[in-house]
């Protein structure tokens, strides 16, 4: 029972940070750009992995701030990386949902660490290796990613890496002695050719799209949290307290959670299905994107309804279907939410 309360406390900490982190830093991210947030997220995440690596039974309390740092660093790293979807044009939503699905299935890493630990590799060695991997992300930050943002839509001849933010434009060909010679010049992409009135942060926050979508997201997210928080007592009730059956269903639930990365891109394909097709007369690209998201939002709500019905039915074998619907709906929910915010 004591282990159950400790586990529940850790889950509450993780989900509390998960809810807060995506909302509070977004405006700062808009002002400071990708480079700052990449460095911040790696610092938080690496600090968390190092704290876990050097924790001992005498310093077990250090695991609580370590989990918080891992959760905050992870979600910020996800938010920053979702801009990579801008580079893929007509597959933008698919890439964004794929990133969210990978984040959703990240628990597979701890399954690998568990198997390595059972094979004789210490927990400290595994987490020190994770800390060392942050060096790869530092190199990626300085030599591959832009300092500020990845624009959308991506301009022609856009390059990234050391020359990120530059585009090459061919000038007029000059004929001399019967030979054609072309010259190129670098033009910064920071200059906007068209003047567009951008909405303020307050206007975006108070817009009906954001308010209603936030309510829609919160209700379904609460349903998932309630299911996860009550899963163990529900299984104990349905199995009459049989430990082997409870363990069997818990393992089945854990395995299904790893499939989020496979389910999430389906939603992106639904949202990207109109790309490359001619738009209706007078319809803007944003309006076309919003219209394409209607089917995605409907399917997500329908999945949540079916998931809730199965979860509320006191029939033990039906819970296998409940687990499948839960991971499918959660993948659609988080991936679709990120893709919808990017187009709304």
> Per-residue pLDDT tens for 226-242?
998 899 999 999 999 89
| CA atoms of 156 and 193, how far apart (whole Å) | 14
Q: How far apart are the first and last CA of the chain?
A: 46
**CA distance linking residue 333 with residue 327, whole number of Å:** 10
Alpha helices (H) in the chain, listed in sequence order? 2-20, 26-32, 34-53, 63-81, 92-104, 108-118, 123-132, 134-143, 201-206, 208-238, 243-257, 260-271, 285-311, 319-343
DSSP class of residue 200?
P
- Segment among 76-85, 147-156, 190-199, 250-259 with least mean pLDDT: 190-199
For residue range 11-50, what is the model confidence (pLDDT) as tens digits?
444 444 444 444 444 444 555 566 777 788 888 989 999 9
pLDDT digits (tens, 9 = 90+) for 295-310: 889 999 999 999 999 9
Token pair 């990978």 is at which residue?
102
* Residue with the larger pLDDT of the pair 316 and 75: 316
- Distance (Å, whole) CA 75 – CA 52: 18
15 three-state secondary structure? helix
Tokens of 254: 């854990």
How many angstroms separate the CA atoms of 167 and 8, rounded? Answer: 51
CA 68 – CA 339 distance, rounded (Å)? 26
């Amino acid at each position: 029972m004591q282990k159950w309360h400790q586990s529940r406390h850790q889950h509450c900490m993780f989900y509390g940070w998960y809810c807060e982190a995506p909302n509070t830093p977004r405006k700062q991210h808009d002002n400071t750009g990708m480079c700052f947030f990449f460095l911040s997220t790696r610092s938080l995440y690496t600090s968390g992995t190092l704290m876990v690596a050097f924790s001992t039974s005498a310093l077990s309390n250090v695991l609580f701030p370590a989990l918080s740092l891992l959760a905050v660093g992870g979600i910020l790293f996800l938010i920053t990386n979702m801009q990579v979807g801008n580079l893929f044009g007509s597959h933008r939503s698919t890439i964004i949902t794929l990133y969210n699905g990978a984040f959703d299935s990240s628990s597979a890493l701890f399954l690998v660490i568990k198997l390595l630990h059972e094979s004789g590799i210490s927990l400290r060695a595994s987490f020190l290796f994770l800390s060392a991997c942050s060096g790869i992300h530092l190199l990626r930050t300085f030599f591959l990613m832009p300092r500020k943002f990845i624009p959308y839509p991506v301009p022609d001849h856009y390059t990234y890496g050391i020359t990120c933010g530059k585009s090459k434009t061919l000038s007029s060909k000059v004929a001399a002695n019967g030979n054609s010679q072309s010259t190129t010049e670098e033009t910064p992409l920071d200059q906007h050719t068209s003047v567009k009135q951008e909405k303020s942060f307050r206007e975006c926050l108070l817009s009906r799209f954001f308010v209603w979508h936030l309510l829609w997201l919160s209700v379904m997210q609460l349903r998932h949290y309630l299911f996860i928080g009550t899963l163990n007592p529900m299984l104990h009730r349905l199995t009459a307290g049989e430990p082997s059956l409870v363990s069997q269903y818990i393992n089945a639930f854990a395995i299904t959670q790893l499939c989020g990365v496979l389910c999430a891109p389906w939603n992106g394909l639904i949202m990207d299905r109109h790309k490359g097709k001619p738009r209706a007369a007078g319809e803007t690209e944003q309006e076309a994107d919003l219209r394409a998201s209607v089917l995605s939002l409907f399917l997500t709500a329908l999945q949540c309804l079916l998931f809730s019905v199965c979860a509320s039915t006191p029939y033990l074998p039906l819970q296998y279907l409940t687990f499948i619907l839960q991971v499918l709906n959660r993948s659609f929910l988080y991936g679709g939410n990120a893709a919808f915010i990017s187009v709304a």
